Structures are given as C-alpha cells and as structure tokens.
A and B are shown apart, each in its own frame.
Chain A
Amino acid sequence: MSLRLFVSRDAGAVAVGADDVALALEQAAAKRDVAIEIVRTGSRGMYWLEPLVEVATPQGRIAFGPVTEADVPSLLDALASNTPHVLRLGATDEIPWLKRQTRLTFARCGVIDPRSLDDYRAHGGYKGLERALSLGSDAILNEVTASGLRGRGGAGFPTGIKWKTVAQAKADRKFIVCNADEGDSGTFADRMIMEGDPFLVIEGMTIAGITVGATKGYIYTRSEYPHAIEAMNAAILEARRGGYLGSNVGGSSCSFDLEVRVGAGAYVCGEETALLESLEGRRGIVRAKPPLPAHYGLFGKPTAINNILSLAAIPFILAEGAKTYADYGMGRSRGTMPIQLAGNLRHGGLFETAFGVTLGELVDDIGGGTLTGRPVRAVQVGGPLGAYFPRALFDTPFDYEAFAARDGLIGHGGIVVFDDSVDMRKQARFAMEFCAIESCGKCTPCRIGSTRGVETIEKIINGERVHENLALVEDLCSTMKFGSLCALGGFTPYPVLSALKHFREDFIPAPTTLQAAE
C-alpha cells in the first residue's frame, strides 16, 4: 500500500526547507522501494514546526516536525515499519495549538491540495455559492449583514452595508476588487490563504459578484508574493475549467470572471483608493473620499473593494448561516479573526479564533513567549501603523473597539513581539522613516511630516533638547493624525505616540547620570 504524505508548499514552509524535504522523501522512498504519494498542501500555520510532514492513517493524519533533510531516512523507516520517531507530534488535529483554534476561514488551509478543485469541493467548498445562488441578492445581503462581518483589512467597516451600497448603485459595469496587498509586517494570512486555499477566495469573490451585480473581479496582490500569485492563477484556470468562473457560474445564469494584478512594491497601494489608482495603471496616489469606491470606484464604476480575509469569510457565512458565524466573538466584533503571531516568538504562526482573546493569552500562552527566552517588552499590533503595547496592557481583548479605546488598532491582525533588547526610540524612528519611504506624496502632513518626524526623533536619540523635541514630535503626530488624507499618515502616529507614552524611559536620559555629574 502506498504511503500518503502531506508536505506544505506554503512560502513560509518552503523558506525553511519544505521543498528539500519533499524531494528527499521521494528519493529516499525510491531507494527503499517504498511507494509514496506526496500531496503538497498549504500550511497549517504552525511555522515553528515547519517543514511539517503528515501521513494519512486510518485514524487520521499524524504529524512529524520540524523535519530536516537529514531526518528523512529515519522518518521514512519509521513510517514504513510503523514504529515510533522522535519527531512524531501525534494526531495533527489533536496538537493543542491547532485544537484550541476556531478555524472557519482557515478550515481547509494545510489540509487540502490547493491546486485541486475536487479536493476543495470534497471539503465543503462551493456550498456557500450554491446556497447564495438559491437565495438571490437581497437575501445574501441580509445574511452578510446579519453575520456582523466587518472589514478585515483593519478599518472594520460592515461588509453587508458596503455591498448593499454597490448593489443599489446603477451602472453598466460594476467590479469586485480583492485587496490582497498585504504589506503590514507581521501579517501573512492573505498569503497563506491564497497559497493554501485559493478557491475559497474565488468563491467569496464570486458570491460578492452575484450579490452586487458585478461580472468582473480583480485580485490585487504584492510582487513580494510570487508563490501566492502562482497559486491564485492556477486556481483561477482550474475554476474556469470546472465551470465556476466565466459564464453560467456554477450552472446559474450569472457570469463572473477574475484576474490577478500585481503591485510593484508600494505599501500605500494597500489603501483602497491608492489600490484602485494602481489597478487603473497609475501612480498609487490616494484619492479623496467621497466619492466612495462603492459609487465611484475602479474605472469610475461602482466597486466593492474588500480585504481578502473579509471575502474569504463569506463562503462559511453563506454555507452555515449568518447566525453560526455571529455566535462567535464579542461586542460589535463578530465571528473569528485570523491572528498572525510573529517576530521574536517561540510559537509563531496563524491562530484563528473568535474575537475576545486577550493580548496576553496570545503572546505568552499561545505564542509561548520569546524565541530568545528574554522577557517580552513590547508588542506591535496591527502592522507598521499599529501601536506598541507594553505588558501592562496585556489584558486588552482582541476586539476592534477595545484596541481603539487604548489608542491602538487590530489592523489586519498581525502581532509582532519584541524582547527587552528593543530600543523603542529606534522603533519610533522607523515608523516615521517607513511612512517617509512609502508616502504617496499627495498630502503634506504625511509627505513632509514623516521626514520631519525622522529628523526630530534623530535629535532625541542624540540627546539634543530632548523635552522640547518630544513635545514637537507629539505636536507633529497630532497634525499627521488629523490632517492626513489616509491611514498611512494618519496612523503613523500610533506606533510613535505609543512608544513615547508606554516606553518613555527609552527617550529621556536617565536622571542617574545627572546625579553622578553633580
């Protein structure tokens, strides 16, 4: 009997040797005359265990990891003879880190072959579209609204209301745009879902198209994600072949087709209006709103532009019903959030869970503390525009409003952990520097403010008139926050001000040196 093995083809797994392990498995199996079949899946999201190798057994999949090329011969011997192996982790589904998650969006990621439409369908794929087709536009809108789904890109705008606006707009053409321009450091959920379950994105966008009356969709993603681009393009071809894109989608009278477009290294294009400009072939310059993209979007047509994680949540909501989704979560944050644990962390990866889990649980308990073994000092939540949180705020629940109340944001759900060797002056300067590099240049507070910010923080680092310059940075942040056109300039103050507020001691020279001088 042939051994059925699963090795991830996710970029994060490949970066730590998954391709080498897969190749070594094939070679070792040929040498031993053991019949194996390797399925290249997405990642389960437990990156400290990558490359992870799973084997199908009558009792379900058994996991081994992290596997290196050198481990392959002994692993294959153990698998062929059904004997123990030191890297054996037990049943994959029973690994506590996976077991305590609520995987609605990422249910199939790491499980199925992302190139196979049949595998997708065999694991519940296209059930959402099937139900959507039987419901019709108004009923779908009711479902999406009732689910409480809010924009997973960070802004948290209710998806149902956005779709309704586009559905009601009158135009000869409408568009669905999937924002997969995942530029935030510490985030990789978009990349994982495109590489691990691309049909889910296609299904979500197709449902969006049917709902608002759009026949064309674009997935705008990053040039830094070559594996994701390849996976999405392969899935689009496969979906077309299977009758799930093109005319008569899923046997209905609706038409919908998709195209992947690739950015060119501009962070600001993750901002929705800059993204639309870029899609139209122009510089990624932010547009003033209104008009909203829902009325005047891509090529001037009504456009539903959603984050990929919002669109990826849609098939579950349609298949299982709005209530099932809304039953998860807290307050006005309903459903689940794919949280990404990154940076200096022992157990980094993708952790999808209902809103409400605290930051402390995520970092200390689930993340397992720092990889270096030193104390956690600062945690940046929500990407380069997110605030730095100290341990004192670790009781903050993961929820849009709770983070806002503490001058932070959950953004795209990325958490970057720093140990006590971090110099928060450098982090504050970097926030301004990044804004200066990436500013589209349209509005003054962002374009000039960020450069002045770098200079002023530089002066603080050099000990020049520290108190006056700190006041200047705070004032500048206020100008940027209230005067910028979009979130790039508007939110850069979050990391800067949070660093100043919670880690003041890094900015002010220690008084002990003064005393010593006396």
Chain B
Amino acid sequence: MTAVFEPWNETRGAEIIGEHANQEGATLVILHALQEAFGYVPEAAIPMVAQALNLSRAEVHGVFTFYHDFRHKPAGRHVLKLCRAEACQAAGGDALAAHAEAKLGVLLGNTTPDDRVTLEPIYCLGLCATAPSAMLDGRLIGRLDQKRLDALVAEAQR
C-alpha cells in the first residue's frame, strides 16, 4: 500500500499548523503533522511554523534539519527501510543491505531514478530477536532473508 499525500497547499498547511500551535513545545509535533500530510516538510512551511510559534526561521530550520526523520523533498513512491544496527548486523544484515543496494541500483539513503523506491537505513526497529528486520511503507518485516528481501524489492518496484 502506497501512502497517499496531499500536494502542498498553503491554506492546508496553515490549518495543520493552527491545529497544534497551542501545545507546549509544539515544533516537532507540527513538523510531524506536516510531513504526515504532505510526505515532506515544504520549505515554504518553515516561516509559517516560525510565525505561529513566535520563533525565528533559523530556529525552526535548525530543528527541521537536526532530526533524521524530516524530509525536505518527497520520498519515492515506496520507502524501504533496512535496519543497520548491531543486532541486525549480527544476523546477516550487512549482506542484505548490499544485496538491496545492488538490486535497486542505489546506495542506502537514496531514491531510484524512476522515483519508485527510496532505500533508507534505520537504526533499530526494536525487532532485534527476529533480526534482520525491515520496514516497507510502515509494514514491519522480521527474519528477513534474501528471498524475502527480493519479494519486498519486487513489491516496491511495482
């Protein structure tokens, strides 16, 4: 299942910001909400967040760039995340990551040229007893092996 995002729209952006602006320490909450709606945090939203929270643009930009989760442009149609932390390394994760890179023709952290698949590293999904693990568009997969990975890659490329 592909996540469906709304195209960026200033009115809608303002509405989302307004929904959360009254919470204490709302910056991350708002950035999450924007990304959930649009699939990324559009550059144009940064000054809007700053104004709503009475912060400088630099402060909001600083928060936005600090956290690995927030995207400055949309991801591919599917996002395949492979856990690269120690428990998955111990269970053969290195070879699987290399295999995924070879199959998709992009290194971890990149999107295929056709914009179909974004391949990303993730540091621990907390599925360490059924390692190696992966996540395809929010769906969790444990006990990953080459066969399962091939199936995931094929599914993502569809």
Which residues of A are at the interface with B, using a C-beta cutoff of 8 A?
A: 11-12, 14-16, 47-48, 50, 182-188, 190-191, 222-227, 261-267, 278-284, 299, 340-345, 348-350, 371, 380, 384, 414, 416-419, 422, 427, 430, 434, 437-438, 440
Contacts and interface: CB of A to CB of B under 8 A. Distances in A.
A440 B89 CA distance: 24
Contacts of B85: 185-186, 384, 434
Contacts of B127: 11-12, 15, 188
> Which of B24, B32, B125, B129 has the most chain A CB atoms inside 10 A of its CB?
B129
Nearest to B23: A259
A416 B128 contact: yes
B28 A342 contact: no
B31 A264 contact: yes
B25 A299 contact: yes
Given A280-B24, A371-B91, 10 more contacts: A15-B141, A185-B83, A261-B28, A264-B31, A266-B67, A299-B25, A344-B90, A384-B86, A416-B90, A437-B123
Contacts of B140: 11, 14-15, 227
B91 A281 contact: no
A279 B124 CA distance: 21
A267 B89 CA distance: 18
Contacts, number: 153
B138 interface: yes
A284 B124 contact: no
Nearest to B124: A185
A225 B131 contact: no
Contacts of A430: 86, 89
Q: Which bracket fits the contact residues of B?
A: 35 or more
B87 A225 contact: no
> Which of A227, A340, A342, A419 has the most chain B CB atoms inside 10 A of its CB?
A342
A264 B70 contact: yes
Interface of B: 24-29, 31-32, 53, 59, 62-63, 66-70, 83, 85-91, 122-131, 133, 138, 140-143
B87 A185 contact: yes
Contacts of A186: 85-87, 128
Contact of B128 (A414, A418, A419): A414
26 contacts: A11-B125, A12-B127, A12-B129, A15-B141, A48-B129, A183-B124, A184-B124, A186-B87, A188-B127, A223-B69, A226-B138, A227-B140, A264-B28, A265-B123, A279-B25, A299-B24, A343-B87, A344-B90, A345-B129, A348-B128, A348-B130, A348-B131, A349-B129, A384-B85, A419-B90, A427-B86
A341 B129 contact: yes
A187 B128 contact: yes
Contacts of B32: 223, 262, 264
Given A15-B140, A265-B69, A266-B66, A185 B129 contact: no
